[in-house]
Amino acid sequence: MTVNALSFNILDGVAVVTLDLPGSKVNILNLEVLEELNVLLSDLEEMADALRGAIFISGKGNNFIAGADLSLIEGIDDAVRGAELAAKGQRVFDRLASLPVPTAAAINGSCLGGGLEFALACDYRVVSDSAGTFLGLPETQLGIIPGFGGTQRLPRLVGLAESLRMITTGSPVYAGQAKRIGLVNEVTATEHLLDAAMAAVEGRLSTGKRKRTLGRVVEENMERFRPGRKVIANRARRAVIEKTRSHYPAPLAAIAAVEYGLNHGMEKGLAYEARILGEMAVTEVSKRLIGVFHLRESFARGDKSPAAGIADLSVIGAGAMGGGIAALAAEHGLNVRLVDRSDGALGSAMRFLHHDVATKRRKGRYTDIDAQWIPTRISPDTGMRWIGSADVVIEAVAERMDVKKAVFAEAAAKVSDDTLILTNTSSLSVTRMAEDVPHPERVAGLHFFNPVDRMPLVEVIRGERTSDATVERTAAFARLLGKVPVVVRDRPGFLVNRLLLPYMNEAAVLLEEGADIESVDRALMDFGMPMGVYYLLDQVGLDIASHAGRSMFEGFGDRMTPSPIFQAMIEAGRLGKKAGKGFYLYDRAGNRQPDPTVKNILAPHIKGTRSFTPEEIVHRLIYPMINEAALVLEEDVVNTPEAVDAAMVLGAGFPPFTGGLLRYADSAGAVRVTETLGKLSEEAGHRFSPAGSLVQMAKEGKVFYP
């Protein structure tokens, strides 16, 4: 079936092929598009004698090709069928690579997965300097490997070490970096993209010499010989295993495919790649990771139109969170007034902004123009006298109700009645905060996670008087900033902190019972958490965690009783990474190391000496989060397990390979979870008492995801 995604015209003897999939915001490679491309390549082959080249360009404004149709991968239930599908795509791209005329991919916007593999099959790649242009092979993040030639063509273009980094991490590269590593031939302004592609196919492109560092020269020499390639590949394997604890088979499989192809040639390498793609596509890990991808997309894809007209933002509080929010908004084109009474805080925020912009400029994510203009969008101020024109006000001041209410009162008196007034609170009641604000229906929470620029989740908190329109506008504003919003009710801890606080508090209780800090953190890393719980506490700050814990205790009573360990650490000045010492010691560069002296501080609170097995640690720390999630659903803080899992994966780093906290609970089974919680309740205290809904699920054989 033809979908009419491809069309071409002849311009000065060059075929300009436009990719524009009807009815879709982005171009994707499905079976119909691949077949249509195959037919078009036949036409180009027949016309080759009359052509001087062929250019492939997108008809979408901000996308070249987003990748292969994910439903193709989801539908694979047989490894042989998966290999056949990959081989089909490879054959089409081989024809593209073998066209007897020069070819160029003209790339503006995202070029990912199969899209980059398409571009790799062209002779040249020219890209726009837009901040929205990036290239990558994210397949391993979906539990598979590049299957249309990516593991074979990329290393031959950019080298083994760089290709393994791109493929195993799935991280994108932006225009400037892509030019530096040799992935693209030219970077140009968007309006000159077609001209640059024409120059490429006509042999007029002057790309200059690729910069080669001493390290790159050494790697190139190593890559020439099989023993050297093995050293580089083994180094990549060790890095993957250290990071993933072998929970994700795809990155290791991708390394094997790259290495095999370089050792045995392109033809055998492609066959190996196709076979491994089929094997990875049928794994449970791949199915769960694709589920997480859809989960994220379902929350990120909502309507942005309620945020139309938002151009001016006032951020009150220039600490790490306020400064981060201001920088994010400026990056997305908003005019920002950053308010703080402290000149020092404002100065620190602006220095951080300039450093961040310079770093992104060096990495090629920003053009020179971006780097010049983004800082000018932020106006620092020590007072609120000029915030009257703001469309949105966000406060990010100290986590104290009296301070926040005072800020809200002052801000509300200066802005219009329809200005959104938002709080970045992590634990305080949005309803109480809005009590004295005229038109409290426009007040909501917008809880960012630290670091602001990296964490995709924001919680949109609905107070008791927050209107539906405000919730919709706040969520749309979050999407405008590139974030994934999850709407939650105004309850202590909201959603993520509500689930994390029992986890962190129970870790402190384990110390009271004699647990070893490093052993617990190692067990959690082996389980799949991105960092150990004590390292997490050091990152958050013991004072902040203690404050949040007290708020939870006030809201939920005895089952959230804070461990005395927190106060002992605070009194000893061990506030965490920011103080250079917490459960670990930190040097100036932020590197951590164990600190045996911490036991002396904890000694008065340690009730015994006991070692815990990894399974016991998981039961004590992970199962209470499942229990709390069941209570969250009972209380309608959120109303779907999808909201819980999206928030925990995107905001707390719960292991994506599990599919999310409640997917993990389903795999364990309600019977096992409730029986384990019941046993812990008898042994360690009623804080482990299983939620009524969990008990009912166990009785009826139900799951969170039917």
Tens of pLDDT along 639-651?
Answer: 999 999 999 999 9
Tens-place pLDDT, residues 41-70? 999 999 999 999 999 999 998 999 999 999
pLDDT of residue 361: 87
pLDDT of residue 143: 98
For 52, counting Cβ atoms within 10 Å of its Cβ (0-12 exposed, 13-18 middle, 19+ buried), the class is middle
Tens-place pLDDT, residues 563-584? 999 999 999 999 999 999 999 9
Residue 365's pLDDT band (cuts 50, 70, 90) = confident
The percent of residues in the chain predicted with pLDDT above 90, rounded, is 91
Hey, where are the domains in the chain? 6-282, 305-489, 496-700
* Residue positions annotated with a catalytic role: 447
| Closest to 515 in 3D by CA, of 493, 539, 533, 530 | 533
**Rounded alpha-carbon distances, angstroms, from residue 195 to 20, 191, 291, 367, 455:** 20, 8, 41, 19, 38
What is the residue-averaged pLDDT of the chain? 95
Both structure tokens of 324: 């981060």
Tens-place pLDDT, residues 315-363? 999 999 999 999 999 999 999 999 999 999 999 999 999 999 999 888 8
Rg (CA), the chain: 27
**Rounded alpha-carbon distances, angstroms, from residue 397 to 23, 198, 317, 448, 452:** 45, 53, 5, 13, 15
pLDDT of residue 449: 95
pLDDT of residue 217: 72
Tens-place pLDDT, residues 464-474? 999 999 999 99
Cβ atoms of residues 14 and 55 within 8 Å: yes
d(CA 695, CA 309): 48
Both structure tokens of 43: 């036409």
Q: What are the φ/ψ torsions at residue 251 (nearest 5 degrees)?
A: -60, -40
For CA atoms 177, 178, 182, 187, the dihedral sign is: negative
User: What residue ranges in 382-476 does DSSP mark as E strands?
Assistant: 392-395, 420-423, 443-448, 457-462
What is the residue type of 355?
H
d(CA 304, CA 672): 42
**Rounded alpha-carbon distances, angstroms, from residue 352 to 321, 355, 356, 357, 365:** 12, 5, 6, 9, 17
Tens-place pLDDT, residues 143-188? 999 999 999 999 999 999 999 999 999 999 999 999 999 999 999 9
pLDDT of residue 219: 75
Q: Is the pLDDT of residue 1 over 60?
A: no
Dmax (CA) of the chain:
87
pLDDT of residue 304: 87
Supply the CATH classification number for the domain 496-700: 1.10.1040.50
d(CA 471, CA 469): 5
Both structure tokens of 288: 């769960």
Tens-place pLDDT, residues 66-75? 999 999 999 9
Lowest mean pLDDT among 1-5, 199-203, 458-462, 664-668: 1-5
Lowest mean pLDDT among 97-106, 297-306, 670-679: 297-306
| Closest to 262 in 3D by CA, of 164, 179, 183 | 164
pLDDT of residue 608: 81
Supply the CATH classification number for the domain 6-282: 3.90.226.10
Supply the CATH classification number for the domain 305-489: 3.40.50.720
Count Cβ atoms below 10 Å from residue 490 Cβ, excluding itself. Answer: 22
Cβ atoms of residues 111 and 135 within 8 Å: yes
Tens-place pLDDT, residues 525-551? 999 999 999 999 999 999 999 999 998
Average pLDDT over residues 615-621: 98
Peptide bond into 451 cis (omega under 30): yes
